[in-house]
Amino acid sequence: MTREELFRFVQETWGTEPEYPWLDDPESAVLRHSIGGKWFGLLMKLPRKTLGLPGEGRVEALNLKLDPALVYILRGQEGYLPAWHMNKTHWLTVLIESVPPERVTDLLTQSWELTKKKMSKAQP
């Protein structure tokens, strides 16, 4: 899955547009709920060495909030890494070019649902 395909899925499914909050990192995009602003995804283009991956260049890495049991199961499998720069129990880094697109969209949907539940519990 490419960055453009991911953003198209998010826009068509939830009407969400990526936000680029960091001036010093214009490629990193936050995916937020339209109500409440809670993050359900963070897409970054990171150096392979930052993630402990072999080779040169950069890779598209998507951080998603997921059930801790699923994070534990997936972490370490090809295309899945401990969350970069996030809580490693609740978040997972997915290399979107290494994981089948339907799996990326499934995990993205789970992250959206999980963060939506948390958001709605906090609201009166």
* Tens digits of pLDDT across the chain (124 residues): 999 999 999 999 999 999 999 988 889 999 999 888 899 999 999 989 988 889 999 999 999 999 999 999 999 899 999 988 888 889 999 999 999 999 999 999 999 999 986 545 555 4
Domain ranges (residues) in the chain: 3-118
Q: What is the pTM of this model?
A: 0.89
> Which residue, chain included where needed, has tokens 């699923």?
70
Architecture of domain 3-118: Alpha-Beta Complex (3.90)
Residue 10: closest CA among 91, 92, 108? 108
